[in-house]
Amino acid sequence: MKLVIVGGVAAGASLAARARRLDERAEIIVLERGHHVSFANCGLPYHIGEVITDRSRLLVQTPESLREALDLDVRTAHEVTAIDRVAKTVTVRRVDDGTEYTESYDELALTPGAEAIRPPIPGIDLPGVHVLRRMGDMDAIKARLDGLLSAAAAGERGPVRAVVIGAGYIGLEMAENLRHRGAEVDVIELADQILPPLDHELSVPVESHLRSRGAGVHLETGAAALRETVSGLDVELTNHTVLHADLVILSAGVRPNTELARKAGLELGPHGGIAVDTHMRTSDPHIWAAGDSVETPGTVLPGTALAPLAGPANRQARVAAENICGRDTEYRSTQGTSIVKVFDMVAGGTGATQRQLRAAGIPHRAVHVHPSGHAGYYPGTAMMHLKIVFDPHTGRLLGGQVAGFDGVDKRLDVLATAVRMGMTVFDLEELELAYAPPFGSAKDPINMAGFVAANVVRGDLELWYAEDYPAAVEGARIIDVRTPEEYGIWHLPGAENVPLASLRTVCGDWDTATPIRLYCAVGFRSYLAYRALRQRGFTDLKTLSGGSTTFRAWHELDDVDAAAQRPPIENYAESHSLFALAPTGVGASIDLDCTGLACPGPIMKLAEAAAAASAGDEITVHVSDPGFATDAPAWVKRNGHELVSLEPEGPGYVAVIRKGGAGSMASARPVAGASVSGPGKNSFVVFSGDLDKVLAAFIIANGALAMGEQVSMFFTFWGLNALRRERPPRRQKKLMDRMFSVMMPSGANDLPLSTMNLAGMGPVMITNVMKQHKVPSLPELIASAHAGGARLIGCTMTMDLLGIAPSDLLDGVELGGVATFLGEASESTTTLFI
């Protein structure tokens, strides 16, 4: 058999190698019009960025190595210009001298790949405009960049400026690598998001990261014209802005190379690629095709599609070779699994996106989760954004997308496997995945997505979506179950703040028929709230998929705030000389590591550190939660401090915050829209000894302290049990006191739940859940409130009645009576009875 292959890179080289392994006697000729075969085109951007320093490492094979290892006849600089299907010959042109010859074949394989789309824009063919497909393109871009950077380093010119047209995978890889070399980069994109193959909300965190690394991003903007200038090129945008560029990279997509096939009368598919059957055979029984030039059936979506990706190209080539060599192998489908690194972030997807499902009219549901890449307490992790789409009835997984920092690739690959195997969200719940703290969590993000999606399919959870806001909350009560600090920094207009810990108590008199739309930061606390309300008879309940984290990807917070038309929050530092900022550099430097902590952890820690600091001290805080970039300025402003700097660092940020004021922290009431007039004081009567109620009291107390307010807590009757020591010093007790001490909970760890106590199982479960989600335990909350300056007052009358001695109570608890409490309450702006 004589096999002729047109194109010798990904698919061509794979096809030739597989054919040789199956047929030792075949004559195999590879005709490649370029000067290199089997090179790593996916590595090209990284050599420009000098991440891959050795150019030769990109040349995976050479004609000589392929001859030696596989006895292949590889002819570079040989272009096939025509196919004669009747004579079974191809016309070959020697690129270097233009001479032509004819080569016969028994079987012909077309793997000509794709070519860059050059939109019909004036100036698109100017020499400074580069595409990146081949080694030669890479060499030209690198030579130009090296020259410009050397001149800049020698002071002969200013900074090097590059414009990247197109924010797809290759465009973003180029943006990163150009930035890496020190160029100033602007990325322009016609769509309203970067990474068009992903759903909008997954692209937004990557876009923020791209901007944070210094790249300019211009969305819904095209290049209107390119003009040569004395020093480079002017790129005129469709919005009439003109960007000056020394280098323009055109990465506006690719189209399949089908000219040969078309001229030979081979059938093309609806998307313009070469039509093939599942054996990779074209409409001619002796001509096969594989790679970027073909269209293949989708794994999830109906019909065929183009998928210019290296994995499918290689697998299609293998299938074609097997069938050429007499085997019966099928290429069933392409699901479009893809991934990209953008600076420290990674993003990708597999299967169908929600946008594609909608366009195809396929019924589906979506869930969003935001777990850490690995255990939060092990260094080096950050929040991940994971979305899956699935059949609402069967739960079959239709697609998944992930964006984040650590562990994105493995989650994508698990999802890709699940999509390929037709697995359901119930299967995702069950998957047993590798876990140790540096790699994941005992409940892997894939399991978490499975749990949430399975809840939706089973009817245990109903979601509302940020994308549908504000219609999704119309006519409903919006309940924000986050902490007062989180609520204070930002909340949805009209939302009521009912922290989860107090929800069960507060909802007692709510009308169960009123529509309620819940939300929290990522969707977990609102899910707990949802279940609590559902079981109390609430009928029209929905919780926000992915919480405020997903919401922020859909809506500019400023727009939402503007919609609420809330009055501006006055800053203490501006209105009270008492809180005037201390002069620069007079204070101590404090280093605070909040990496691995999810919201509100960093803000709580920052508040603690600020409370302990003196005016003028500078706190350098390291955070891996990207939401900190929005939260920190708001918190700083509300508390009268100064944000000295906020810089990207790894997955998150490093911020320097200078404490304002003359010792006492400024505060704001945790209700957006309220203008601030002075530091508040809060009094609590903690009467209840129920774990959930005491937790609520301490969460609110800590929140108030974090906002710079004063807190005084009076513990009476059953509430006093929360302050009891677990192991008090032994002492003589009267019979009645002994009986009480046996019957009553011995401290914060022993309190029952107000409902669902389940003979003590409820508190254990809630404590474990809190631990997993890094919510501090009750003893930790008590300690933090005390350390933050809260007065914890034990009611002496209760102590007498129940036979509690001062030595039975925690260190630092003051003793007092009703008068003490009333004194505190009279000075307070808020008094709560819990």
Among all residues, which ones are annotated catalytic? Answer: 42
Name which of 280 and 597 has its Cβ closer to ligand FAD: 280
Query: Nearest distance from residue 300's CB to ligand FAD, in Å?
Result: 18
Q: Is 281 helix (H, G, I), strand (E, B) or coil?
A: strand
Based on the number of CB atoms within 10 Å of its own CB, is 303 exposed (0-12), middle (13-18) or buried (19 or more)? exposed
Q: Which of 3, 9, 489, 665 binds ligand FAD (CB under 6 A)?
A: 9
Yes or no: say if 132 and 175 are a contact pair by the CB < 8 Å rule.
no
Q: Is 681 helix (H, G, I), strand (E, B) or coil?
A: strand
Site string for ligand FAD, 355-394 (x = CB under 6 A): ----------------------------------------
Q: Which of 292, 295, 467, 561 binds ligand FAD (CB under 6 A)?
A: 292
Q: Is 752 in the site for ligand FAD (CB under 6 A)?
A: no
- When CB distances to ligand FAD are compared, the closest residue is 291
Q: Which of 10, 145, 319, 804 binds ligand FAD (CB under 6 A)?
A: 10
Query: Nearest distance from residue 670's CB to ligand FAD, in Å?
Result: 46
Residue for token digits 């404490």? 659
Applying the rule CB under 6 A, the residues between 131 and 190 that interact with ligand FAD are 132-133, 170
Q: Is 627 in the site for ligand FAD (CB under 6 A)?
A: no
Q: Is 33 in the site for ligand FAD (CB under 6 A)?
A: yes
- What do you get for the CA distance between the two ends of the chain, in Å? 87
Residue 291's region, left for phi above 0, alpha for psi from -120 to 50, else beta, is left
Q: Which of 260, 325, 528, 569 binds ligand FAD (CB under 6 A)?
A: 260
Residues that bind ligand FAD (rule: CB under 6 A) add up to a total of 32
Q: Which of 4, 29, 74, 80 binds ligand FAD (CB under 6 A)?
A: 80
Q: Is 95 in the site for ligand FAD (CB under 6 A)?
A: no
Q: Is 685 in the site for ligand FAD (CB under 6 A)?
A: no
Name which of 170 and 252 has its Cβ closer to ligand FAD: 170
Q: Is 310 in the site for ligand FAD (CB under 6 A)?
A: yes
Query: Nearest distance from residue 188's CB to ligand FAD, in Å?
Result: 18
Q: Is 111 in the site for ligand FAD (CB under 6 A)?
A: yes
Tokens of 93: 């042109």
Nearest to 757 by CA among 693, 677, 704: 693
CA 178 – CA 184 distance, rounded (Å)? 8
Yes or no: say if 4 and 112 are a contact pair by the CB < 8 Å rule.
no
Nearest to 102 by CA among 117, 87, 114, 116: 87
Name which of 113 and 648 has its Cβ closer to ligand FAD: 113
The interface region with ligand FAD, picked from 4-12, 152-160, 616-624, 722-730 by CB under 6 A, is: 4-12
CA 460 – CA 455 distance, rounded (Å)? 5
Yes or no: say if 497 and 518 are a contact pair by the CB < 8 Å rule.
no
CA 104 – CA 110 distance, rounded (Å)? 14
Yes or no: say if 198 and 351 are a contact pair by the CB < 8 Å rule.
no
Q: Is 113 in the site for ligand FAD (CB under 6 A)?
A: yes
Q: Is 73 in the site for ligand FAD (CB under 6 A)?
A: no
Name which of 132 and 457 has its Cβ closer to ligand FAD: 132
Q: Is 18 in the site for ligand FAD (CB under 6 A)?
A: no
The interface region with ligand FAD, picked from 3-11, 657-665, 712-720, 821-829 by CB under 6 A, is: 3-11
CA angle 257, 262, 266 (to 5 degrees): 115
Q: Give how far Cα 431 sits from Cα of 203, 434, 450, Å.
A: 27, 10, 9
Based on the number of CB atoms within 10 Å of its own CB, is 87 exposed (0-12), middle (13-18) or buried (19 or more)? exposed
Name which of 75 and 531 has its Cβ closer to ligand FAD: 75
How far is Cα of residue 815 from the mean position of the Cα atoms in its chain? Answer: 49
Tokens of 251: 């990465």
Query: Nearest distance from residue 80's CB to ligand FAD, in Å?
Result: 4
Q: Which helix (H) or strand (E) holds 740?
A: helix 735-743
Name which of 261 and 452 has its Cβ closer to ligand FAD: 261
Q: Which of 45, 232, 399, 763 binds ligand FAD (CB under 6 A)?
A: 45
CA angle 810, 815, 817 (to 5 degrees): 140
Q: Which residues, in sequence order, are CB contacts of 410 under 8 Å at separation 6+?
A: none
CA 657 – CA 636 distance, rounded (Å)? 8
Q: Is 42 in the site for ligand FAD (CB under 6 A)?
A: yes
CA angle 277, 109, 304 (to 5 degrees): 30
Q: How many CB atoms lie within 10 A of CB 119?
A: 13
Q: Which of 3, 4, 12, 628 binds ligand FAD (CB under 6 A)?
A: 12
Q: Is 197 in the site for ligand FAD (CB under 6 A)?
A: no
Nearest to 295 by CA among 314, 270, 320: 270
Q: Which of 27, 79, 139, 427 binds ligand FAD (CB under 6 A)?
A: 79
Q: Is 74 in the site for ligand FAD (CB under 6 A)?
A: no
The interface region with ligand FAD, picked from 38-46, 399-407, 427-435, 629-637 by CB under 6 A, is: 38-46
Name which of 41 and 550 has its Cβ closer to ligand FAD: 41
Binding site for ligand FAD (CB under 6 A): 6-7, 9-12, 31-34, 41-42, 44-45, 79-80, 111-113, 132-133, 170, 257, 260, 291-293, 308-311, 313
